Structure 1
Amino acid sequence: MYFVLSICFFCILADGYDLGIYGAVLPSLLDYQPWGLTAAQAGAIGSYALFGMLFGAVSIGAITDFFGRKWTLIICVTVFSLTMIACAVATSPEMFGLFRFIGGIGLGGVIPTASALAIEYSPTNRRSLNYALMFSGYSFGTVLGAILAIFLLESFGWRLMFWIGALPLLLIPIMIKLLPESVDFLLSRNRDKEAEVICKRYQMDISFFREQKKKSEQTAGKDKKSIKGLFTKEYFRATLFIWLTYVMGFYLVYGLNTWLPQIMRESGYSLNSSLSFLLVMNLTAGIGAMLASFIADRFGSKRVIGVSYFLAAIAAFFLTLGAPPIAVTYLLVGIAGFGAVGSTQILNAFVTKYYPAQSRATALGFGLGIGRIGAISGPILVGFLLSLNVDLLWSFYTFVIAGIIATIGIILVPNKKDEIV
């Protein structure tokens, strides 16, 4: 179990680094004279990877339900790592943007695939905790990018940061040789002998997986398999409001991760100080999500998610009220990070528990994919506002609105009978 969680953690860490590094290098890209990027152009390029993730999350999330998790994850990690090399040697903004889009397809497939593996290899009473531990890699990947940028960016330039993003290629041989396939997937394809070998190797009780399969078949029925299961009478309303929550939550996550360093730089902070806000935001998100997962396992993820998004909205609002002391600013940025990034991590775990096993990866894949609408809008809208020289406060006002709508969205998701999710 812990080996699978570790592999998934490093894959998610690489995912977080590759997405977060764009926000860290954005001030340098805007200063890069050969390209002469405007804020609007930089915002558009920032959305290209997210466009790719939209395709990756929707298509690969569904494909894994039919073809397995292991090889899907390996291919995705390989694709986005190779495109990081391509970005490092790009000779034009157009080439750079194209490679970010292609890499985004691979990035979009990592989260639903790794999430399904992590959930399936975790005991039921530790799923939220183990998932939060695994998915904290996203925040720590962004934190790693911010730390490396603070020490290396001014001296070595932005291209080195993308070369570093190719290091996950070293993980591929280990994944090919040692990463097990999903037991649930093998049993669903009647590959019982392979499933038994994996369970014996990892000292797991295969009867648990068989019982889960039997229970899912009894409760889900034919109409609740894969994509159809998202739109049955029981799940239709939940699917719509979960999607709304994803859209607004991702607007917060990617809007802040892309533009926070540049916004703080334009507010008068130095480059390294601006990057430190990005570091604090994601470090708080990673630690906060693990802490919140303890509460979620006892009292339900839905309550924790609603409170977290509301805190993000409040923190963003207080950042608009003048120039608070630096310590208060760091505190508010940290709360915003936990509320935006951290609660989205718990939302992923909530979705995997909310839907039946047959639709689990598909539900998460579609949720993440639809959420890319907000993810794409964040970098573009904030970049557009900055290019118009609109007061910086309006960028934070959009985050306030997104946080409030996300809170309302998760509240309106129906509760499941006799079940804490």
Structure 2
Amino acid sequence: MSIVEQVKSAPMSRAQIQAVVLCLGMNLLDGFDLLATSFVGPAISREWGLSPSQLGVLLSSGLAGMAFGALFLAPLADRVGRRRLTLGGLAMGALGMLAASVSQDFGQLLAARLVTGAAVGVMAASLPVLASEYANNKRRGLVVALITTGYGLGAVIAGITTSLLLGPFGWRAVFLFGGIATAVLFALGLRFLPESMDYLVSRRPKGALARLNRILLSIGHPQVDELPEQETGSSRGVAVDALFRGGNALRTVLVWVAFTTAMTVFYFASSWTPTLLLEAGMSSQQGLSGGVLFSLGGVVGVISLGLLLSRVESHRLTAAYFLVSAVALVLFSVTLGSLGAALVVAVFVGFLLNGSVSGLNVIIPTLYPAQARATALGIAVAVSRLGAVLAPLLAGFLLESGWAPESMFRIFAVPALVGAAATIFLLRGAQAASVDARPAPAATEAPKGAVA
């Protein structure tokens, strides 16, 4: 057993828990930075006289930047290291939020949101991988699920911060708060965030042995005289076409379909819920409350998924979250006329949609070898952002065309059903691969007359 496998088979040390908590904090700030516009969007629209379609463009701008960051920047984590790229993403995110806080027109704010989105795209791919690699085998599913709660917690904090700062100081104060908090977290990461041991072993950068030994010492494991042997077939280069070789082709396509549908529904609901509640006749404060409750439900949903993963297979659980979320969206559409019922259902919608995304974050890193995980997840994140970008845009144009909020929630229940189907097919593929990987039965003496 290699030293990395020994670490993953042992109980988690305080240093490992610290690394996971730091990743959670970073993901929380990602959620705040990315979804802050959802809460301050109505105020920006009033100040600058934006149309619903323009607001849709603004809400999608961060997601478009996220797609760029995940596609073109996140794969660098498999080359330069998870730690280095994560810190770069934090620095970029802080700059984007601070720029948004001083923007004077729609174009400036749009550019700032693109930069922030690119930073979030980098960390959306690297943080779940880094956290899962520092978790032990027993807690990996729970850790990745907890990391995913960062988006929900960040959105909750964004909603609360908006309610506290918007009246006295205006919407720019929300972005300023996010920029300062991200800069502080960058400083903490620079001091305390370790590099991935899997990266050091599989990529073997300069000084890898010394860096690995420092990490081993910090987590209470014996140091080694040489790097463990690499996995069979591993290499220093990770080609994108490796995701489509052999049996990986269908698996990768299904991952993309599942992730795209999850992002489509999640970012429609998370971006537009406060505004659509206003359109349905609720007050500004009630709209903010709906957005916060959606995010709180997401946190509970992700934690519940993490706890259930020790009892239920991850593919089945994620498919179930997808299926029930479609039902919840339809139910939400028929309760918008009642404040109490709508707010209660908003919790369940957030619970299920966040759980679906979290489940996919748990599944995807297990499908690929260590040297390709960030590349695979980064490209999946990038592809999925096509749905994430188009969903707020489509909702804005539908609203401007006269569609009722109720109808839009029903329309976006369809992608949730598609995501459930893709996840079920991923489960079947995993089961087939498991059967193929079983060792052949021992040879027995052939019966007389048989061809040996």
Q: What amino acid sits opposite 1:5 in the alignment? A: V
Q: Could you say which residue in structure 2 is the equivalent of 1:73? A: 86
CA separation of 1:324 and 1:40: change in aligned 2, threshold 3 A: closer
Q: Mark the CA change 1:239 to 1:189 in structure 2 (over 3 Å): closer, same or farther.
A: closer
| 34, 45, 48: which one aligns with 1:19 | 34
Partner of 2:331: 318
Distance 1:113 1:322 in 2: 38
1:278 corresponding residue in structure 2:
291
User: Which of the numbers 27, 46, 58 marks the counterpart of 1:31?
Assistant: 46
Residue 210 of structure 1: how far off its partner (Å) = 6.6
Task: Report what 1:132 is aligned to.
Answer: 145
Mapped to 1, the partners of 2:132 and 2:73 lie a distance apart of 17
CA contact (8 A) 2:202 2:235 kept: no
Question: 1:194 maps to which residue?
Answer: 211
Q: Distance in 1 between matches of 2:337 and 2:106?
A: 37
Aligned to 1:5: 20
Aligned to 1:292: 305
Please report the TM-score for the alignment, with normalisation by the length of structure 1. 0.93
CA distance in 2, matches of 1:224, 1:305: 32
- Measure how far apart 1:322 and its partner are: 5.3
Stretches of structure 1 lacking an aligned partner (at least 5 in a row): none
Q: 2:260 aligns to what?
A: 247
Contact 1:139/1:286 (8 A) holds in 2: yes
- Structure 1 stretch 329-338 or stretch 223-232: which is displaced more? 223-232
Shift, 1:288, TM fit: 1.5
AA paired with 1:151?
L
Q: How does 1:107-126 map to 2 (within 5 A)?
A: 107-126=120-139
Name which of 412, 415, 418 aligns with 2:430. 415
1:297-342 Cα shifts (integer Å, max 9, x gaps): 3322111111111111101111222556434322321121122122
In the alignment, what sits opposite 2:188?
174
Say which of 307, 310, 328 aligns to 2:341.
Answer: 328
* CA distance in 1: counterparts of 2:236 and 2:203, whole angstroms: 18
For residue 365 of structure 1, the aligned residue among 372, 378, 401 is: 378
**Structure 2 letter corresponding to 1:196:** N
Give 1:296's aligned amino acid: L
Write the mapping of 1:82-93 to structure 2, written as runs, cut at 5 A: 82-93=95-106
Moved more, 266-275 or 292-301: 292-301
- The 2-side partners of 1:71 and 1:223 are apart by 17
The CA distance in 2 between the partners of 1:189 and 1:347, in whole Å, is 25
- Describe the SS at the equivalent of 1:233: coil
Q: How many residues align?
A: 412
Q: Which residue of 2 aligns with 1:382?
A: 395
Q: Which deviates the most, 371-380 or 196-205?
A: 196-205
Match of 2:12 in 1: none
Change (3 A) 1:323 1:177: closer
**Identity over aligned pairs, percent:** 27
Task: Give runs of aligned pairs for residues 202-221 of structure 1, distance below 5 A.
Answer: 202-204=219-221, 214=230, 217-218=231-232, 220=233
User: Counterparts of 2:356 and 2:117 in 1: how far apart (Å)?
Assistant: 22
* Distance (Å, rounded) in 2 between the aligned partners of 1:248 and 1:381: 14
Paired residue type of 2:189: M
TM-score of the superposition, structure 2-length normalised? 0.87
Q: Counterpart in 2 of 1:183?
A: 197
Corresponding residue of 1:46: 59
Structure 2: which 5+ runs fail to align?
Answer: 1-15, 436-452
- Post-superposition CA distance 1:47-83 (Å, at most 9, x none): 1111111111112221110110111111101111111
**Pick aligned residue for 2:359 from 346, 358, 363:** 346
Query: Counterpart of 2:250 in 1: which secondary structure?
Result: helix
Change (3 A) 1:116 1:204: farther
Superposed CA deviations along residues 159-199 of structure 1, whole A, max 9, x for unmatched, are 11101111220122222222211112122343222211211
Which string of whole-angstrom CA distances, capped at 9 and with x for unpartnered residues, describes residues 176-231 of structure 1? 22221111212234322221121111224678x976x64xx22x556994523311
| CA distance 1:126–1:206, change in 2 (3 Å) | farther
Cα gap change, 1:383/1:324 in structure 2, threshold over 3 Å: closer, same or farther? closer
Among 226, 248, 268, the residue aligned to 1:235: 248
2:396 is aligned with 1:396: no
- Distance, in Å, in 2 between the alignment partners of 1:135 and 1:401 is 23
Identify which range, 314-323 or 347-356, moves more after superposition: 314-323
Q: Are 2:335 and 2:342, in contact at CA under 8 Å, matched by a contact in 1?
A: no
Which amino acid letter does the alignment assign opposite residue 394 of structure 1?
S
Cα distance, 1:150 vs. partner? 2.2
The CA RMSD measured in Å over matched residues stands at 2.0
Q: Which has the larger radius of gyration?
A: 2
Distance 2:393 2:298 in 1: 23
Structure-2 change in CA distance of 1:248 and 1:407 (3 Å): same
Higher alpha-carbon deviation: 191-200 or 319-328: 319-328
Partner of 2:450: none
Instruction: Tell me whether 1:154 sits opposite 2:167 in the alignment.
Output: yes
Q: Is the 8 A contact 2:149 2:302 kept in 1?
A: yes
| Partners of 2:100 and 2:175 within 8 A in 1 | yes
- Give the corresponding residue for 1:102: 115
Distance 1:398 1:205, change over 3 A: farther
Whether the 8 Å contact between 1:311 and 1:335 is mirrored in structure 2 is: no
Q: Give the AA of the match of 2:173.
A: L
